A and B are shown apart, each in its own frame.
Chain A
Amino acid sequence: MARAAKSSHLPPGRQAGPGSGTIGMADALDKRIVCVFYKVTLNELRRDGDGLGPMEDMNIVDINALDAYFVELAQRVRTHHG
């Protein structure tokens, strides 16, 4: 979804505005949009050019804590199964 500017040192999620072109296409086609953030945070995006831009009033799911969630889940499973 994110399109990388070739020379940028930024992670792909923060270069072109993550998937902004795709979001515009989806809006034009009346598709439901859910933005899933991973390895980039809302605060990081807010500091860039347009801030959240078109994502400002969208449904956003932040899964940056996914790794911690899996660690916790593994611990629970181990505890549960002794």
Chain B
Amino acid sequence: MVERIFLSYNHRDTDLARRIAAEFQRAGLAAMDPDTQIAQGASWRTAVRAALDQSAALVVVLGSPFKAGEGWLTYEIGMAEASNKPVIVMSPDTHSISDSPADFLNSNIHTFDPRQPEAAARAVAHEILSAA
């Protein structure tokens, strides 16, 4: 059975998130991407919860510094924590995430070389699959 993970990211990081999702797929992890898999007009909160329920972990791609008002990322982290799902934050080493909200800093953080997100994705996938 293919393990699923919930992939959380901001729209400005879509390209990076999709590269990571493709590598997850190659490693045997199906990335649930809310941006493409939640029907327009559906209740996002309900859909996020359903997707998280089916996921082994939440992976947050923080491709650029956190900006004010990005409520969905922190919402999904809070929901994952309360659901006892592992939370992994993936962030390029080109920027610090120390100014991000505590929700991010309390997570399992993977920093990586932005030229090689695939290598980071393989390491994260290995970690998730080993724990499953």
Interface residue ranges, A against B (CB under 8 Å): 3-8, 10, 14-18, 20-29, 45, 47-57
> A10 touching B75 by the CB < 8 A rule?
no
In the complex, chain B residues whose CB is within 8 Å of the CB of A28: 49, 52, 78-80, 82-83
User: A17 to B78, Cβ gap below 8 A?
Assistant: no
Binding site for A on B (CB under 8 A): 10, 43-45, 49, 52, 66-83, 98-103
B74 in contact with A20 (CB, 8 Å): yes
Classify the secondary structure of A's interface with B: loop
Q: Can you give 17 A-B contacts (C-beta < 8 A)?
A: A3-B74, A5-B99, A8-B68, A16-B70, A16-B103, A17-B74, A20-B73, A20-B75, A20-B78, A21-B75, A21-B101, A23-B78, A24-B77, A25-B81, A49-B68, A53-B71, A53-B75
What CA separation (Å) do A21 and B126 show in the bound complex?
Answer: 27
Inter-chain contacts of A15 with B (CB < 8 A):
68, 101
In the complex, A33→B91 CA distance in Å? 31
Interface centre among A15, A18, A57 (most CB of B within 10 A): A15
Q: Is the CB–CB distance between A49 and B78 below 8 Å?
A: no
CB distance from B14 to the nearest CB of A (A): 15
Most buried by B among A24, A27, A48, A54: A24
Name the distance in Å between B64's Cβ and chain A's nearest Cβ: 12
Expressed in whole angstroms, the Cα–Cα distance for A54 and B48 within the complex equals 10
In angstroms, Cα B30 to Cα A55, docked, is 29
CA gap between A27 and B103 in the complex, in Å: 16
